[in-house]
């Protein structure tokens, strides 16, 4: 029995010796290793913080430069600059009200046209389109976003405006001419044409962002709706669009930001007349258009300062719209959370 148990004891002792050797080697390796450094984590944290602050500093510097460039005009015209319709460089009388009106109205027209088309297109591509047509449509939409604005402006002058002047505008005047929005003579270049060209430009942006948002909706939402007996339309409306409404609103605000600052294409089709008119058939002017058109013609200091103040007004409107959008987004989120709790 002693001889039969000896090999087993030898194996056990050998195994214990190997284990002890491995443990000692691991301890020696750990002893030789230095303690982990936090320098990389701190460097990455400070680098990303600096990049984030650089954006804020850039916005502040842009606003400060516009304020300095328009300080003389601000002192001379004051708040009255925002409420005056006169724009007379010869008499050195300047007011931004027609340009503010043109910017807001043309952007509103663009949103009324582009938002339903964009969201409907995004919903079709996400929920309904077969695979063989989905990718070609997505590529065409992305290609539309890549077209330069000056090319769209030329298309607007030579193709869109003649077509609008011959067909849609007479139709609108015939059936809706009793309203102040579609009354008066038809010129061609007008506020309505400016809104349509902006809608063409923001449509691919809102569509692309909305499509990505709808794609991010969990499949569990759709499956739950179908399990309750919902049709495809009901599942899309209740489970998908309702779930993604915050993101869709953000896509609309992104398109609005593009609409407010659009310059060349609008300048080529809106008519460039500083007036406030209810009729959408009359020419208009936007804040960005007046800067692009008259900056090289500003021969006096006060004229140049007034254009700088126009830029400052456009900058302020853009920030104000984004702040209001964030406030509205929080209100929507709070309302949705309250309903969920109830």
- Give mean pLDDT, residues 35-40: 68
How many other β-carbons are positioned within 10 Å of the β-carbon of residue 77? 21
30 located within any domain: no
Range of the structural domain that residue 266 is part of:
70-316
**Residue 1 scores a pLDDT above 60:** no
DSSP class of 278? S
Residue 265 half-sphere exposure, CB side, CA atoms within 13 Å? Answer: 28
38 located within any domain: no
Q: What is the pLDDT of residue 339?
A: 56
263 located within any domain: yes
- Give mean pLDDT, residues 224-245: 88
12 located within any domain: no
Domain count across the chain? 1
CA distances from 62 to 65, 68, 201, 266, 268 (A): 5, 10, 25, 24, 27
- Give mean pLDDT, residues 275-295: 94
DSSP class of 284? B
Q: Which of 123, 153, 156, 158 is nearest to 137 (CA)?
A: 123
- Give mean pLDDT, residues 226-254: 88
40 located within any domain: no
3 located within any domain: no
In DSSP notation, 183-229 reads -S---SSSHHHHHHHHHHHHHHHHHHHHHHHHHTS-HHHHHHHHHTT
Least trusted range by pLDDT, from 3-12, 73-82, 99-108: 3-12
**Residue 8 scores a pLDDT above 70:** no
Q: Dihedral through CA 188, CA 86, CA 296, CA 306, nearest 10?
A: -140
Residue 133's CATH number: 1.10.3720.10
- Looking at per-residue confidence, does 334 or 88 come out higher? 88
Could you give the 3-state DSSP secondary structure of residue 290? helix
Residues 6+ apart with CB under 8 A from 220: none
pTM of the model: 0.85
Looking at mean pLDDT, say which of 7-16, 147-156, 222-231, 329-338 comes out highest: 147-156
* pLDDT bucket at 340, cuts 50 / 70 / 90: low
Q: Which of 90, 66, 92 is nearest to 81 (CA)?
A: 92
- Give mean pLDDT, residues 279-291: 95
123 located within any domain: yes
Q: Which of 195, 157, 202 is nearest to 282 (CA)?
A: 195
153 located within any domain: yes
């Amino acid at each position: 029995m002693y001889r039969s148990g000896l090999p087993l004891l030898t194996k056990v002792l050998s195994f214990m010796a190997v284990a002890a050797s491995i443990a000692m080697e691991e301890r020696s390796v750990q002893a030789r290793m230095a303690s982990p450094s936090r320098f990389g984590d701190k460097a990455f944290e400070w680098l990303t913080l600096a990049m984030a602050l650089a954006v804020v500093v850039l916005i502040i510097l842009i606003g400060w430069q516009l304020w300095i460039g328009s300080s003389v005009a601000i002192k001379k015209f004051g708040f009255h600059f925002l409420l005056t319709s006169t724009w007379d460089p010869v008499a050195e009388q300047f007011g931004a009200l027609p340009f503010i009106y043109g910017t807001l109205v043309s952007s509103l027209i663009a949103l009324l046209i582009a938002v339903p088309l964009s969201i409907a297109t995004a919903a079709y591509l996400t929920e309904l389109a077969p695979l063989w047509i989905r990718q070609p449509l997505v590529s065409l939409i992305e290609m539309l976003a890549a077209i330069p604005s000056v090319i769209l402006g030329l298309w607007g002058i030579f193709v869109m405006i003649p077509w609008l002047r011959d067909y849609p505008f007479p139709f609108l005047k015939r059936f809706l001419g009793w309203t102040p929005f579609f009354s008066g003579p038809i010129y061609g270049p007008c506020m309505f044409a400016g809104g349509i060209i902006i809608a063409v430009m923001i449509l691919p942006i809102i569509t692309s962002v909305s499509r990505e948002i709808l794609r991010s909706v969990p499949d569990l939402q759709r499956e739950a709706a179908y399990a309750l007996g919902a049709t495809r339309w009901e599942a899309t409306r209740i489970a998908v669009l309702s779930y993604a409404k915050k993101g869709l609103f953000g896509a609309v605000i992104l398109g609005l930001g593009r609409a407010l600052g659009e310059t060349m294409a609008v300048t080529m089709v809106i008519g460039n007349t500083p007036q406030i008119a209810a009729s959408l058939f009359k020419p208009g002017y936007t804040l960005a258009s007046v800067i692009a058109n008259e900056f090289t013609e500003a021969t006096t200091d006060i004229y140049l300062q007034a254009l700088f103040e126009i830029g400052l007004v456009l900058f302020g409107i853009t920030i104000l719209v984004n702040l209001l959008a964030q406030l509205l987004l929080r209100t929507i989120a709070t309302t949705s959370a309250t309903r969920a709790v109830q």
